[in-house]
Amino acid sequence: MFTAAIALILVLALIIFILYRRIMWPKSTVFGYYPWGIKTDKKIIALTFDDGPSDPYTKDLLNILAKNNVSATFFLVGKNVEKNPNLAKSIIDAGHIIGNHAYSHNLFKYLSSPSLKDEITKTQEIIYQATGKKPALFRSPWLIRHSGLFKVMKTNNLTPISGLFGTEKEVWQVSAEIIYKDALKQIAPGVILIFHDGFTKNGDRSGTIKAMELLIPELKSQGYELVTIDKLLNIPAYQ
């Protein structure tokens, strides 16, 4: 029997779905430009890594990228840069690009201060002090977006960057094989792929690192060129 309770659940589910499509869906542009890739026939892809820098995962990832002679884009969490300033600098020294990923990656902080104004500006300064670079690229935690956040990004001369998750299962710290197989399904010319080399609480990114040992050579064997975000979108990486 179709009850009022079931109807309420369905309505709530619909509201959640609509909100997700507007403020968290990787391809949403409701509030403005938030690129997840480009339209192209050229075999070109951008690998991006969020939530670092973290030891040993970022260091291990840099070794894999160097071994395969490819470049990537790292969206750094401010408090992790504070813990690992030399590791943040090593990303730059290795020829990769870094972007702003807010200070704490804390959901409570977002709920209490949705614009992330202080988190963004604080992270800009932390990254500059550690690396001598002031990012022009920003990826919001959980890909959340709204008009107030876009205003803060504009004020700080930041370009928002979205992307497709290599696998949404990565949050569960699944095996390298699962990450690798899921990521292959996302492969297409012009796509920005999101993975994670860091964390804001306890986490194990070894599965992701091992998956890159499989994925990067496979992409190259398929004829893909792996580039940084600034080259893919033809925009500045730094201010």
Q: Is 196 a catalytic residue?
A: yes
Q: Is 50 a catalytic residue?
A: yes
Distances (CA, A) of 81 to 53, 99, 182, 193: 6, 12, 29, 22
Rounded Cα–Cα distance for residues 140 and 31 (Å): 13
- Of the residues 96, 105, 196, 197, only one is catalytic, namely 196
- Of the residues 50, 51, 60, 197, only one is catalytic, namely 50
Give me the phi and psi of 97, to 5 degrees please.
-110, 145
The helix/strand/coil state of 43 is coil
The helix/strand/coil state of 129 is helix
Rounded Cα–Cα distance for residues 239 and 224 (Å): 29
Q: What is the largest CA-CA distance in the chain?
A: 65
Residues belonging to the active site: 50, 196
